Structure 1
Amino acid sequence: MIRADLPLIQEIRVDSGERLQFVKLGRVEELTVISRRWVLRGVAAVAPLMLLSGCTSSYYKAMKTFGKEKRDILVSRVKDSKKDQQQAKEQIKTTMESFQALTGFQGGSLEKNYKKLNGEYEKAADSAQKLHNRIDSIDQVSGDLFKEWQKEIDGMENKKLKAQSAVMLRQSRLSEAGYIKSMRQTEARMTPVITAFRDQVTFLKHNLNARAIGSLKGTSAQMSTDVDVLMVSLDASIAQADTLINSLNADQP
């Protein structure tokens, strides 16, 4: 759901003076930028709001001004998703270590250890949400790319080249579908892990004493197993990212 207090970006314009014009609720607001790199950063920064507002065509048009086609955007998002998964992997491992350290508490400040665990949990939850959003963004741009690709193939007259392009499209679709499936599976395994961390942290918030911590020791082993399974899934999904990137870089419609 789009928050009522967020301005809906209806259009992005980029003029020759490298100014971004954001048309928001009928008003034109300009942002003068120093370089093309900062223009791209500006467009990328408002991309989530544009997608929520249904302005994908304006987003693609703005990116195309700087030579960024849908394929380039997709490759960039897949690379970002690979980084997101690597970061999520490290953060979940760190959160698990904090939980194990607290359940094996041998003395010191319970409050300090709890705050550390809570902080790591919040970072892990943020990583999971970021990955979820990334999957959706990849799914959207890949769908738009493949529709455009198919339309271009339909307009080709040379039967041999048309058939070759169709094969490349089919291969890229298969690679993308495999990657999305892998990430969805990883997300499905990540959700119960994050939920378990949340429940443990909430329980400790309500019962921050040695007895409560002792009662959680039995859950540590199962959580550790779940985390290990998730790590394997993340590694597999990260490897799938490279496969998709290679496929997109090799196939030029």
Structure 2
Amino acid sequence: MRFVVLTLALLLTGCQSAYYAAAEQVGYHKREILTDRVESAQESQQEAQKQFSSALEQLKTLVDFDGGDLESVYDQVRDEYLASEKAADQVSQRIDAIDHVAGAMFDEWQDELEQYSSASLRRTSEKQLQSTRRQYDKMLRSMRRAEEKMVPVLARLKDNELYLKHNLNARAVTAIGSEFGSLKREIQSLITEMNRAIAESDQFIQTLGQ
């Protein structure tokens, strides 16, 4: 039920602040929203890893092409590129969503420090805020590094798709094959960076839960 209320609020207002306010009313606080969004970003990164690996495998099929319907192979290469582009866009959107709710949570936390009457509790909360921010910044930097690594990989996949589209012949397959090794290394590096980001995310979620 609470998700129906939240969805309606977001559709009616189109405003994140209204979304957070509606969420608060049903007991869904920014900390929980942030945790959920971090987990969603982890899922999107895992899906992107699978998709980029699938695109690489399809290109390997092309490179190993030994007769048959080359146009059909091209269609599959194009589909893999479009799916990779969509997966990358999903990753970026979810990272942006994390950053938005994190900013709102940290601003609220900072403002509420002034409401303490106990100096001791205020100091403790402030230290927790600083520690959480540091852990968050570390996680976000890792996510953004992985996000940046998607750009050249997508560019290479697009280059291959375009070249094959306008040169649907064995010579084009050979040309793409000559660059296959470097693309493979870039995708492996991207997957490694995403795994680091996912590990940082796990640590941050643990920090939020403490």
Give the TM-score range, shorter chain: over 0.9
Of 115, 120, 144, which residue of structure 2 is paired with 1:160? 120
Mapping 1:217-228, distance limit 5 Å: 217-228=177-188
Tell me if 1:129 matches 2:89. yes
Structure-1 separation of matches of 2:83 and 2:7: 24
Which runs of no fewer than 5 residues in structure 2 stay unpaired? none
Structure-1 residue corresponding to 2:163: 203
TM-aligned CA distance change 1:43 to 1:242, over 3 Å: farther
Partner SS, residue 27 of structure 2: coil
Q: 1:59 aligns with which of 19, 23, 36?
A: 19
Counterpart code for 1:240: E
Q: CA deviation at 1:115?
A: 1.0
The residue that corresponds to 1:151 in the other structure is 111
Q: TM-score, normalised by structure 1?
A: 0.79
Is the 2:51–2:84 Cα contact (8 Å) retained in structure 1? yes
Bigger fraction of residues in strand: 1
Matched, 1:193 2:153: yes
Greater relative contact order (Cα 8 A, min sep 6): structure 1 or 2?
Answer: 2
Percent identity, aligned pairs only, is 33
Q: Which amino acid aligns with 1:112?
A: S
Provide, for residues 60-87 of structure 1, a one-character-per-residue CA deviation record: whole Å limited to 9, x for no partner.
1111222111111111100100001000
8 A Cα contact 2:63 2:173, kept in partner: yes
Q: Which one has a larger percent helix, Structure 1 or Structure 2?
A: 2
Task: Report the counterpart of residue 100 of structure 1 in structure 2.
Answer: 60
**Shift of residue 216, structure 1, vs aligned partner:** 1.4
- Three-state SS of the structure 1 residue aligned to 2:116 is coil
Does structure 1 conserve the Cα–Cα contact (< 8 Å) formed by 2:37 and 2:94?
A: yes
CA distance in 2: counterparts of 1:95 and 1:42, whole angstroms: 37
Q: CA deviation at 1:37?
A: 4.0
Deviation at residue 43 of structure 1 after TM alignment? 4.7
Question: Mind listing any 5+ residue stretches in structure 1 that lack a counterpart?
Answer: 1-34
Q: CA deviation at 1:114?
A: 1.2
**CA distances 1:13-51 after superposition (whole Å, capped 9, x unpaired):** xxxxxxxxxxxxxxxxxxxxxx4443345456x49x82x
8 Å CA contact 2:116, 2:122 repeated in 1: yes
1:174 and 2:134 matched: yes
Q: TM-score, normalised on structure 2?
A: 0.94
Does residue 207 of structure 2 align to residue 247 of structure 1? yes
2:69 matched residue in structure 1: 109
Q: 1:16 corresponds to which residue?
A: none
CA RMSD of aligned residues (A): 1.6
Q: Deviations over 1:85-114 (max 9, x none)?
A: 000001000001101110121122111111
Aligned residues of 2:5 and 2:22 also touching (Cα < 8 A): no
CA, structure 1 residues 39+155, in 2 after alignment: closer, same or farther (shift >3 Å)? closer
Q: Residue 190 of structure 2 corresponds to which residue in structure 1?
A: 230
